[in-house]
Amino acid sequence: MTEEKSLKLEILHDRRGISKVYTSLAFLLLVFSILTLLFLTFFNYNFAVQEQMRIEHERSQEKIVLTGLNLNETNLSEICIKNTGTIEIKIRAIYVDNSFLCDPSTYNDTNIAPNNSSWIALPIGVAFDPSAKITATTERGVKTAEY
């Protein structure tokens, strides 16, 4: 009987050693998981900051000027926009008196190369008001406004 008890005690003692190994492995797995999560978070943050800096750099190179209007009887049919910046732009919004009029990029090619100008067609029926403020906005948010 004593041999059986000593055999049981050895088996129980061996199980305790195995559970410590599993606990240590689980702890190491948890630590490496947390470190991996921290590394990925830092990498994503760094990527987002670099992307924002690139957009701001491109935005600083954009400059546009409203240079002309084309009238059709009493309606405004087109506006001419000149890109005086150093990178290609895309016109994304036209406002009249701070009210959104249209997004011309949905029905026209509104890309304008540097030092070029383009006539942007407006929707039919835009009444011409000489005192109205016309604003054009690029894809990156640069604006020009003329009265």
Residue 144 has pLDDT above 90, yes or no: no
C-alpha pair distances (Å), 24 with each of 16, 35, 82, 83, 109: 12, 17, 68, 64, 63
Distance of alpha carbon 41 from alpha carbon 64, whole angstroms: 38
Please state, rounded to an integer, the average pLDDT across all residues of the chain: 85
DSSP one-letter code for 127: E
Residue 7 has pLDDT above 60, yes or no: no
Encode pLDDT of 70-95 as tens digits. 888 888 889 999 999 888 999 999 99
Encode pLDDT of 82-140 as tens digits. 999 888 999 999 999 888 988 998 888 889 999 999 999 888 888 888 888 999 999 88
Residue 33 has pLDDT above 80, yes or no: yes
DSSP letters, 37-98, are HHHHHHHHHHHHHHHHHHHHHHHHT--EEEEEEEEETTEEEEEEEEE-SSS-EEEEEEEETT
Other Cβ atoms less than 10 A from the Cβ of 145: the count is 12
Residue 147 has pLDDT above 80, yes or no: no
